Structure 1
Amino acid sequence: MFSIKDIHDLIKACKGGIKIFGFKKRKNAAFTRDLIELKKELIKSKTRPLPTLSIDEKVLIKKIKRKTEELNHSNVTRTKAYFEFYKQHPEIQWAFLGHMVSRNGGWNMTDLKGDFLKGLLDKQSRQYFFSFLERGNWLIFQDAYPQFLLYEESLIRNRKLFHLLPYFNVSVFMETIWNDFWKHGDKYILTIALVINEQSYLEKRVMDNNHFKQTVFETFEYKLQELLSFNHILFPYIKNNKIKLMGQTINQFDSLHERIMLGKRLYSLLFSNDQILKESKSWAFENSHTGSRKDYWPHLFNDVKDYAPGNFYIRRLKKCQLRKGVARIYSPRLDFAWKNVEHEPAEEGDWYDDWRVIDYLLEDTQKIDGEIVHEYCETLEKLELATIAKKAIFL
């Protein structure tokens, strides 16, 4: 049974908003029984001891760690692994959301060696930016993928195995969420919980990391990218045999709250409309991830240079179309742009410390507008002009 205090606490949090997360909910929103159950389980999880492992469980843990490590070589292998898992288990919607967002991570990495940012940033700055993007991409995979494999093994054995998640340094928050999913099958709660988990997991290890603060967030180059709004998340899809784009833009990437809310909006774009989901999956099936933006706009981008070295840079873009007779924008494949990285082990520690984070699990009713093409095209033209201006100044 649930006490009057339980219900009072939850309704109070819902009506008044939660200051720690910096936003308020709809006035008439109410927590469901499931979320009240989650609150109780999350409170209990703090005092839950680590289970004693059987020989079989020790073998399974090693197997999952080994497979995760094998697939965690680069953004390309991670992105493919998410999609392959989703094809086998479409009920795990985050796997497709993660796949599509991870594609964007790869495009951002190769942009650093493409025509525009290579001209705006010096070599060391580009290396810092790549290290930041690569570390975050690596960390999320080594946290999320073992969860997927443990879920898959639970299905095979027909019994839940989520008590083993602490041995992969996965938050107790997710152990509670996976147990809830096994019981209720709520895809929305699981997906948004994974969004919360992965972004909270990154907060201490990347966003609050002193090295990345000094080399990325406090630099002029980072402010320049914010100024140029080069923070678009693009989701290609196929409609009437043509590739279309939808997406969202974030201008406060260093805000945990904004990243979680972005994740919720991106989820809504992909999964609130069955036709859009079908068209997005069709594009993903037909276009393997290479890291080059040629994957979605081959009319504008190419993964080889169409022009001779040393040619004076001229304006090529007008409303996301090439001017007559000019070369496409260079956007290399990831395996050509960057070498694979050997990472230091992930920092230990559990981010979860407040049950009220489940406030983010409330489903928003606001309709999300995925229009992104006009804004994205303007960004490309700004980047082109900035690159031309810099070349002109330093000629």
Structure 2
Amino acid sequence: MAIRSFPTKSKMKTSLLEIKEELKKKSKHKTDSLVKLKLTKDERKLIDEIKEKTRQLNVNNVTRTQAYFDFYRQHPEIHWALLGHMVSRNGGWHMTDLKGDLLTRLMSEKEQKNFFSFLERGNWLIFQDVFPQFLLYKQSLKLKKNLFYLLPHLNVSRFMETIWNNFWKNGDCSILAVATIINEQSYLEKRVIQNHYFKKTVLNTIGFKLYDFLRFNQIIFPFYKNQNTEKPHLIGETLQHFESLHERIMLGKRLYSLLFQQKSIFQGVLNWATNHSHTGSRNDYWDHLFHTINESLPGTIYRKRTKKCQLKKGAKRIYSPPLQFSWKNVDHQEAENGDWFEDWRIADYLIEEEKEVGGKIYDDYCKTIEKIELAIVTKKAIFHRRE
């Protein structure tokens, strides 16, 4: 197969037309052909091996995040593996924030657990859906044979079967990456976002609306501009309207553009990620502001510590624990059955937008931390008045 990271417009247009035509056919014939397809002994063995390997790596956010990065280094043509790695890092940081210095002062223990369950389920679901696809691709390369007809046996959407077949033929890395964004967000829609339990315990709660209001839902990519010894810079985007599938897909596309459109940023992110293993603590990227050890005495009244992402004189660093000290590993129930794909027009998201993505997030990120600190101080003042 020929790999083309960024194909010419004419070739991309041809690929998109082929994809749409195939998806139109699948939209008309919604019956599942899986029951008609019998596997050989070797095929069954391969499916079992892929499921077992995925299970071994799908232990927690740290193992998943590392698995994405390891796969990307072996197969840099699979752009989503690096994007997934960086977004999964953010998932880990959001998980440990729930046990850090700031959010523990704003959220009850029950709210913290509910938020973690929500984040962890989504993180787990994406990995168990996408990583088997990667492993099947790896085996296809090894055997020099298209094995994507086995995707239904891994409960992967018919949408991705079309995409992988097209990638095997045309090698368009960008189309595959954006399609994976579409697939994973669509996969989560009913299983997490529209899930009654998560709506009740997370998405419809005051805590989540506060979380959204404070903009503590930024996706950031640390990167080096010049050399590995400097404090990393940040680039990223803020997710607004989390419950909107459209907004989540568009965010994914913007993040992909940020990561792969500019060579200097791509190389800077890659260098930073290579030199910093993911622990889940925000100390991974800014040790001047965050610490894996809680430096404050228990029961200490919180006072604002930061200004423009710098500590005030004499202030303690913000406690940001590693994941292993924040949450125990979770035994998940099997993923819900069902294929999200129904309408071929979802492929319209594959069309590339011409506008340039900004990605400037440093000031907003700093203001977010300051707003959260202000909310903590305000909450404490109101609490004392009521007493």
Q: Shorter-chain TM-score: which interval? A: over 0.9
Does residue 317 in structure 1 map to residue 306 in structure 2? yes
Cα deviation, residue 30, structure 1:
12
C-alpha contact (below 8 Å) 1:306/1:328 kept by paired residues: yes
Please give the alpha-carbon distance, in whole angstroms, between the structure 2 residues aligned to 1:33 and 1:71.
Answer: 37
Match for residue 104 of structure 1 among 87, 90, 94: 90
Does residue 355 in structure 1 map to residue 336 in structure 2? no
Please give the alpha-carbon distance, in whole angstroms, between the structure 1 residues aligned to 2:14 and 2:309.
Answer: 49
Please give the alpha-carbon distance, in whole angstroms, between the structure 1 residues aligned to 2:62 and 2:320.
Answer: 15
C-alpha contact (below 8 Å) 1:291/1:333 kept by paired residues: yes
* 1:234 partner SS: strand
C-alpha contact (below 8 Å) 1:31/1:362 kept by paired residues: no
Does residue 35 in structure 1 map to residue 16 in structure 2? yes
What corresponds to 1:7 in structure 2? none
Please give the alpha-carbon distance, in whole angstroms, between the structure 1 residues aligned to 2:120 and 2:305.
Answer: 30
Equivalences for residues 183-332 of structure 1 within 5 A: 183-241=169-227, 242=230, 243-332=232-321
Cα deviation, residue 240, structure 1:
2.4
Does residue 343 in structure 1 map to residue 332 in structure 2? yes
* Long gaps (5+) in structure 1: 1-28
Does residue 90 in structure 1 map to residue 79 in structure 2? no
C-alpha contact (below 8 Å) 1:246/1:372 kept by paired residues: yes
Which letter maps to 1:110? T
* 1:248 partner SS: strand
C-alpha contact (below 8 Å) 1:68/1:146 kept by paired residues: yes
Please give the alpha-carbon distance, in whole angstroms, between the structure 2 residues aligned to 1:125 and 1:61.
Answer: 38
By relative contact order (CA 8 Å, sep 6+), the higher-ranking structure is: 2
C-alpha contact (below 8 Å) 2:216/2:368 kept by paired residues: yes
* 2:224 partner SS: strand
CA distances 1:184-239 after superposition (whole Å, capped 9, x unpaired): 00011100000000000000100000000011111101111111111100000011
* 1:239 partner SS: coil
Please give the alpha-carbon distance, in whole angstroms, between the structure 2 residues aligned to 1:89 and 1:237.
Answer: 21
Cα deviation, residue 311, structure 1:
2.0
Cα deviation, residue 394, structure 1:
2.6
* 1:102 partner SS: helix
TM-score (norm: length of structure 1): 0.91
What corresponds to 1:18 in structure 2? none
Does residue 385 in structure 1 map to residue 369 in structure 2? no
Equivalences for residues 51-70 of structure 1 within 5 A: 51-70=37-56
Cα deviation, residue 168, structure 1:
0.9
CA-based RMSD of the aligned residues comes to: 1.4
Please give the alpha-carbon distance, in whole angstroms, between the structure 1 residues aligned to 2:43 and 2:12.
Answer: 36
Cα deviation, residue 71, structure 1:
0.3
Cα deviation, residue 37, structure 1:
1.1
Q: Give the aligned length.
A: 367
Cα deviation, residue 274, structure 1:
1.2
What corresponds to 2:162 in structure 1? 176
| Runs of 4+ in structure 1 over 6 Å off | none
Does residue 49 in structure 1 map to residue 38 in structure 2? no
C-alpha contact (below 8 Å) 1:45/1:176 kept by paired residues: no
Which letter maps to 2:237? Q
Which letter maps to 1:97? L
C-alpha contact (below 8 Å) 2:96/2:322 kept by paired residues: yes
C-alpha contact (below 8 Å) 2:12/2:172 kept by paired residues: no
C-alpha contact (below 8 Å) 2:126/2:184 kept by paired residues: yes
What corresponds to 1:161 in structure 2? 147
Cα deviation, residue 275, structure 1:
1.5
Please give the alpha-carbon distance, in whole angstroms, between the structure 2 residues aligned to 1:285 and 1:30.
Answer: 33
Q: Percent identity?
A: 58
Match for residue 360 of structure 2 among 350, 354, 371: 371
Which letter maps to 2:349? Y
* Long gaps (5+) in structure 2: 1-9
Does residue 142 in structure 1 map to residue 123 in structure 2? no
Query: Which deviates further from its counterpart, 282-291 or 37-46?
Result: 37-46
TM-score (norm: length of structure 2): 0.93
